[in-house]
């Protein structure tokens, strides 16, 4: 056994991880106590990383399908790369460099990004390289650049400890950036006068814990920020000396917000005027204001303005460049920052340079030693534009690396057409089971977390080493290796295209990721992100470092702009006028509900990794859309029933949850559920509903909001089944069940998820207009192991009711209920808890809704680490007299008894809510 230090591959907090390995498997992970992002902590997602490294579904060998009528066949790397080189060369020669495109990922390491970017812009001569970071961070980039002059978050995690006011906007940090949120909880515990404000349409865990929650209507953030600016100006609470010395454009901004009174904003935003004034007052009183923001500001058609309007507030009050202050964009993906640093987007060049800047192009052409004019002067196609160009046939070859656009892009029906129209889709991916990998004409097996080596940059500009623990399986190769080897061959094949780079000049001479990092490092010299003082050796010996870190410097810069000088032509920051614009895809009589999307506590993006861990389904086991009580009552809808959700682009079937955490007139769905978990009505998952309308500057699409209609789905016949996967991978069992469901009529709701804690299992749910044939049920039973001689059976053909139950060693190991699900809740709990059912044999097939005497359903799992359910927590409070204790002591009492919230802490916000409810109930 030995340990390897690496980095978590999920969110932008960028936690350090120590992985333990026996040489064949990663057997455990723990937080790296020395890592300055997490100091030893990991959230639920990070602490289960080792459980995601299962072999099922890994892409192991290159595969080619030369025409869509053929099946994929296994090929050698040599054959595959030569096939691709020929395809690219002939396409480029016939149709020009812009006939090809690359769509890469914020999951790639900086070194991978660098090679892909150089391949597209430096060798092929196309700027058609964009990334899924476009869907996530590009409005933060344009917001920073429009105001501060550079794409550089000026604050750092330590600022949480110095802030007096923290404004969280468009972010459920408690779930999406859990370890950072733990630091906020610590700061609040140390300094109870720290004020926290949450701006979010939904009452999230972050909102619940805040001192002030502004549940604004979706898309109205700019109106709110402008009103706060209006109040600060009106109350003479701006920092006039700072404004005069370090900024420009304030007079125009002041004019633009003249009419933006809190009363006006209250009407636009749908919140109380007093709450807006309260925020403004707190902003005035605070000596150190930190704002934390994420997709709620970014994924919007006015994303740039939302970001800029927030930054305007910081500039106007000099809340920047000092401890505890600054506009701090939280990065969604682990290396969205690294991608920007290498210029791996359609409008960027390495070292935070811009495509449209002739000087920048010339610098990089010289740096890369490629002919002058190789880099086209106009930006390439950004994410949405790229898939549209593929659909129109302008981009003929599309190379996708380490991302799953067939699930994650908005308006998936349109994206599906792009895949059909592309001449060739190349997918470089670790998992052959993603929706996108299934559509590949050429599949290139890639390494993934636990195997890759390189660097990533987290939200606070901190660069950390990523280290491989195991070798990639099968013939999988590292992403940079694949791109570099293809590039070398293409350079040889294109010959004349590259001759002015010098005969024999090797543009891609890399033998290790370190050699790529060193070249990337040099591209940052004298730029705002200068890392010429950094090396792999320094990262190993001194640990993760923040940029800039110039040659000769021993440490990087914790916070930027402390001297009031900004990276603009005159060193002044710029106020950006941000007029409020109504949301696109607004509601009307046909689509009366505003749907917002968000993140679950225990899943990551498209779930290709977290979706492999049964424990991570305990908190939210199945895909659900949440609607307000009044809206559901008005439609006569009940919790748990299947509803049809339709937007202007598509529709899907999904089950309903009811909660007043969502305001009337709105509904909410987590963004994670794709076709792999939710296959209904021929849909591709949640993003069949979302719009591809994008911000005109950042080109980031409005994934956060869509106008929808929610109606009852008339699907009276229902089935639920759950069973242990035995010696099979539960994901493989899910895939088989989905195959069976896909043969059912289009108007069928089907969801397949994982279940279980110690023993992995699967959960299937079906709703149909009428009962499927007997053969379908038998197929399901066979896959789940609840058929034949091993199972107890009950059939009532007249009422279309059928039940199968499997009992082994006195415990339930599989259940299939069809036609009548009344007994589901208690049977599922018996199944999960492994309680003996020996005494219950008579009841197992009776289908009664009434649980056996003395049994109460456990409810949802709140603490995954110690498998503690909501019921157990409620029972603890009702059976212990804690009336005299304060909230903190009540929480400690709970933790010392049930242990919940004492490991990763991801459930702490929910535990606090349960403490408050228990206190209120008492």
Q: Which string of x and - marks every residue 158-177 that binds ligand SF4 (by CB under 6 A)?
A: -------------------x
Residues 6 or more apart in contact with residue 291 via CB below 8 angstroms? 166, 167, 168, 169, 310, 313, 314, 326, 327, 328
Q: Which of 178, 344, 450, 614 binds ligand SF4 (CB under 6 A)?
A: 178
Nearer to ligand SF4, 180 or 253 (CB): 180
Q: Is the N-terminal amide bond of 548 cis, ω within 30° of 0?
A: yes
Q: Reduce the DSSP state of residue 124 to 3 states and report it.
A: helix
- Give the Cα separation of 421 and 452 in Å (integer): 33
Q: How far is the CB of 183 from ligand SF4 (least distance, A)?
A: 10
E strands present in 582-704: 593-598, 624-627, 642-646, 651-658, 666-670
Burial of 264 (0-12, 13-18, 19+ CB in 10 A): middle
- Give the Cα separation of 472 and 802 in Å (integer): 46
Q: Which of 179, 397, 741, 914 binds ligand SF4 (CB under 6 A)?
A: 179
Nearer to ligand SF4, 318 or 402 (CB): 402
Whole-angstrom Cα Rg for the chain: 28
Report which of 132, 140, 200, 190 is spatially closest to residue 161, judged by C-alpha positions: 190
Span interacting with ligand SF4, options 3-11, 319-327, 819-827, 913-921, rule CB under 6 A: 3-11
Q: Which string of x and - marks every residue 501-530 that binds ligand SF4 (by CB under 6 A)?
A: ------------------------------
Nearer to ligand SF4, 43 or 310 (CB): 43
Nearer to ligand SF4, 52 or 692 (CB): 52
Q: Is 597 in the site for ligand SF4 (CB under 6 A)?
A: no
Q: Which of 6, 19, 36, 46 binds ligand SF4 (CB under 6 A)?
A: 46
Nearer to ligand SF4, 46 or 97 (CB): 46
- Give the Cα separation of 860 and 871 in Å (integer): 8
Report which of 490, 523, 488, 480 is spatially closest to residue 507, judged by C-alpha positions: 488
Report which of 345, 335, 402, 367 is spatially closest to residue 122, judged by C-alpha positions: 367
Span interacting with ligand SF4, options 39-47, 355-363, 445-453, 508-516, rule CB under 6 A: 39-47
Q: Is 600 in the site for ligand SF4 (CB under 6 A)?
A: no
Q: Is 611 in the site for ligand SF4 (CB under 6 A)?
A: no
Nearer to ligand SF4, 332 or 787 (CB): 332
Q: How far is the CB of 176 from ligand SF4 (least distance, A)?
A: 8
Question: How many helices (H) does the chain have, and how many strands (E)?
Answer: 31, 36
Nearer to ligand SF4, 11 or 297 (CB): 11
Helix %, strand %, coil % for the chain, to 5? 35, 20, 45
Nearer to ligand SF4, 350 or 454 (CB): 454
Two tokens at 139? 């409005």
Q: Is 8 in the site for ligand SF4 (CB under 6 A)?
A: yes
The 10 Å CB-count burial string (b at 16+, else e) for 162-188 is bbbbbbbbbbbbbbbbbbbbbbbbebb
Tell me if 702 sits within 8 A of 143, measured CB to CB. no
Q: How far is the CB of 40 from ligand SF4 (least distance, A)?
A: 11
Two tokens at 61? 């060998």
Nearer to ligand SF4, 43 or 290 (CB): 43
Q: How far is the CB of 42 from ligand SF4 (least distance, A)?
A: 4
Residues 132-161 that bind ligand SF4 (CB under 6 A): none
Nearer to ligand SF4, 59 or 607 (CB): 607
Nearer to ligand SF4, 108 or 805 (CB): 108
Q: How far is the CB of 8 from ligand SF4 (least distance, A)?
A: 3
Task: Compute how many residues bind ligand SF4; rule: CB under 6 A.
Answer: 14
Q: Which of 5, 35, 45, 478 binds ligand SF4 (CB under 6 A)?
A: 45
Q: Which of 18, 43, 595, 681 binds ligand SF4 (CB under 6 A)?
A: 43
Straight-line distance from the first to the last Cα atom of the chain, in angstroms, rounded to the nearest whole number: 51
Q: Is 38 in the site for ligand SF4 (CB under 6 A)?
A: yes
Q: How far is the CB of 177 from ligand SF4 (least distance, A)?
A: 6
Nearer to ligand SF4, 300 or 603 (CB): 603
Q: Is 42 in the site for ligand SF4 (CB under 6 A)?
A: yes
Two tokens at 378? 């106009």
E strands present in 368-526: 397-401, 424-429, 442-445, 454-457, 462-466
- Give the Cα separation of 818 and 828 in Å (integer): 14
The 10 Å CB-count burial string (b at 16+, else e) for 858-888 is beebbbbbbbbbbebbeebbeeeebeeeeee
Q: Is 14 in the site for ligand SF4 (CB under 6 A)?
A: yes
Q: Which of 6, 13, 386, 494 binds ligand SF4 (CB under 6 A)?
A: 13
Q: How far is the CB of 863 from ligand SF4 (least distance, A)?
A: 16
- Give the Cα separation of 261 and 197 in Å (integer): 20
Tell me if 811 sits within 8 A of 835, measured CB to CB. yes
Span interacting with ligand SF4, options 6-14, 226-234, 246-254, 733-741, rule CB under 6 A: 6-14
Nearer to ligand SF4, 11 or 627 (CB): 11
Q: How far is the CB of 44 from ligand SF4 (least distance, A)?
A: 7
Q: Is 10 in the site for ligand SF4 (CB under 6 A)?
A: yes
Q: How far is the CB of 516 from ligand SF4 (least distance, A)?
A: 23
Span interacting with ligand SF4, options 41-49, 195-203, 360-368, 569-577, rule CB under 6 A: 41-49
Name the residue with the smallest CB distance to ligand SF4.
46
Q: How far is the CB of 609 from ligand SF4 (least distance, A)?
A: 11
Tell me if 697 sits within 8 A of 304, measured CB to CB. yes
Q: How far, rounded to the nearest angstrom, does the alpha carbon of residue 861 sit from its chain's CA centroid? A: 22
Nearer to ligand SF4, 161 or 736 (CB): 161
Q: Is 15 in the site for ligand SF4 (CB under 6 A)?
A: yes
DSSP-assigned letters across all residues of 572-596:
-EE-------PPSS---SSS-EEEE
- Give the Cα separation of 163 and 326 in Å (integer): 10
Q: Which of 5, 11, 628, 865 binds ligand SF4 (CB under 6 A)?
A: 11
Report which of 346, 345, 349 is spatially closest to residue 361, judged by C-alpha positions: 349
Contacts to ligand SF4 by CB under 6 A = 8, 10-11, 13-15, 38, 42-43, 45-46, 177-179
């Amino acid at each position: 056994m030995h340990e390897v230090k690496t980095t978590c591959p999920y969110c932008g907090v960028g936690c350090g991880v120590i992985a333990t390995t026996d040489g064949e498997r990663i057997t455990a992970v723990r937080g790296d106590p020395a890592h300055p992002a997490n100091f030893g902590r990991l959230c639920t997602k990070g602490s289960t990383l080792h459980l995601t490294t299962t072999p099922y579904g890994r892409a192991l060998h290159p595969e080619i399908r030369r025409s869509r009528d053929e099946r994929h066949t296994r090929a050698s790397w040599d054959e595959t790369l030569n096939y691709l080189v020929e395809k690219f060369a002939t396409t480029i020669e016939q149709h020009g460099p812009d006939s090809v495109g690359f769509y890469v990922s914020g999951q790639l390491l900086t070194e991978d990004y660098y090679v892909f970017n150089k391949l597209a812009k430096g060798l092929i001569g196309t700027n058609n390289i964009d990334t899924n970071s476009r869907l996530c961070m590009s409005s933060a980039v344009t917001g920073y650049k429009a105001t501060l002059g550079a794409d550089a978050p000026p604050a750092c995690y330590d600022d949480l400890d110095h802030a007096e006011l923290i404004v969280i906007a468009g972010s459920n940090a408690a779930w999406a950036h859990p370890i950072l949120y733990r630091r906020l909880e610590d700061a609040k515990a140390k300094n109870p006068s720290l004020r926290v404000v949450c701006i979010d349409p939904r009452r999230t865990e972050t909102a619940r814990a805040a001192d002030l929650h502004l549940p604004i209507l979706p898309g109205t953030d700019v109106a709110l920020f402008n009103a706060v600016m209006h109040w600060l100006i009106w109350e003479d609470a701006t920092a006039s000396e700072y404004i005069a010395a370090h900024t420009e454009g304030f007079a125009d901004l002041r004019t633009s917000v003249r009419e933006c009174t809190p009363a006006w904003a209250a009407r636009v935003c749908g919140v109380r005027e007093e709450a807006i004034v309260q925020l403004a007052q707190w902003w005035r009183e605070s000596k150190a204001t930190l704002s934390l923001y994420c997709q709620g500001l970014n994924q919007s058609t006015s994303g740039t303005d939302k970001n800029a309007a927030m930054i305007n507030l910081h500039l106007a009050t000099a809340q920047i460049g000092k401890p505890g202050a600054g506009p701090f964009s939280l990065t969604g993906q682990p290396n969205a920052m690294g991608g920007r640093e290498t210029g791996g987007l359609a409008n960027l060049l390495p070292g935070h340079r811009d495509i449209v800047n002739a000087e920048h192009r010339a610098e990089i052409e010289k740096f890369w030693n490629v002919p002058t004019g190789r880099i086209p002067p106009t930006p390439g196609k950004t994410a949405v534009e790229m898939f549209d160009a593929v659909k129109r046939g302008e981009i003929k070859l599309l190379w996708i690396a380490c991302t799953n656009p067939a699930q994650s892009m908005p308006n998936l029906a349109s994206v599906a057409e792009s895949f059909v129209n592309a001449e060739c889709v190349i997918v470089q991916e670790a998992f052959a089971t993603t929706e996108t990998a299934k559509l590949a004409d050429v599949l290139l097996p890639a390494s993934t977390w636990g195997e890759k080596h390189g660097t990533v940059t987290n939200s606070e500009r901190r660069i950390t080493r990523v280290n491989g623990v195991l070798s990639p399986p099968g013939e999988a190769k590292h992403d940079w290796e694949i791109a570099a080897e293809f590039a070398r061959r293409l350079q040889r094949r294109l010959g004349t295209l590259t001759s002015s780079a010098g005969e024999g000049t090797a543009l891609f001479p890399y033998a290790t990721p370190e050699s790529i990092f060193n070249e990337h490092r040099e591209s940052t010299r004298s730029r705002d992100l200068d890392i010429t003082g950094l090396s792999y050796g320094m990262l190993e010996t001194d640990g993760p470092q923040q940029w800039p870190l110039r040659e000769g410097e021993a440490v990087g810069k914790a916070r930027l702009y402390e001297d009031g000088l900004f990276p603009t032509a005159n060193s002044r920051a710029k106020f950006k006028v941000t007029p409020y614009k109504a949301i696109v895809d607004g509601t009307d009589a046909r689509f009366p509900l505003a749907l917002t999307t968000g993140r679950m506590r225990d899943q990551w993006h498209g779930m290709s990794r977290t979706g492999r861990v049964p424990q991570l389904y305990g908190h939210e086991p199945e895909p659900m859309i949440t609607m307000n009580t009044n809206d559901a009552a008005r439609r006569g809808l009940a919790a748990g029933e299947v509803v049809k959700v339709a937007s202007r682009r598509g529709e899907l079937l999904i089950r309903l949850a009811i909660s007043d955490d969502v305001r009337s007139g709105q509904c909410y769905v987590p963004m994670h559920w794709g076709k792999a978990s939710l296959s209904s009505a021929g849909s591709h998952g949640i993003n069949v509903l979302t719009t591809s309308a994008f911000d005109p500057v950042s080109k980031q699409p409005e994934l956060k909001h869509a106008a929808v209609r929610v109606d009852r789905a008339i699907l009276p016949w229902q089935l639920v089944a759950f069973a242990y996967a035995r010696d099979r991978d539960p994901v493989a069992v899910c895939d088989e069940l989905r195959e069976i469901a896909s043969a059912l009529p289009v108007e069928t709701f089907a969801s397949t998820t994982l279940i279980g804690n110690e023993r992995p299992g699967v959960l299937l749910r079906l709703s149909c207009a009428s009962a499927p044939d007997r053969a379908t049920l038998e197929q399901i039973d066979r896959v789940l192991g609840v058929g034949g001689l091993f199972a107890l059976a009950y059939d009532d053909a007249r009422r279309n009711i059928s039940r199968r139950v499997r009992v082994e060693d006195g415990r339930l190991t599989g259940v299939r209920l069809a036609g009548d699900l009344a007994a589901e809740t208690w049977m599922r709990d018996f199944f999960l808890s492994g309680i003996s059912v020996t005494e219950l044999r008579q009841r197992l097939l009776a289908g009664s809704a009434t649980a056996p005497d003395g049994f109460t359903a456990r409810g949802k799992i709140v603490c995954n680490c110690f498998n503690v359910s909501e019921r157990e927590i409620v029972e603890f409070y009702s059976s212990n007299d804690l009336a005299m204790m304060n909230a903190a002591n009540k929480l400690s009492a709970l933790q010392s008894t049930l242990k919940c919230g004492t490991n990763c802490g991801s459930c702490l916000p929910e535990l606090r809510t349960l403490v408050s409810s228990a206190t209120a109930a008492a």
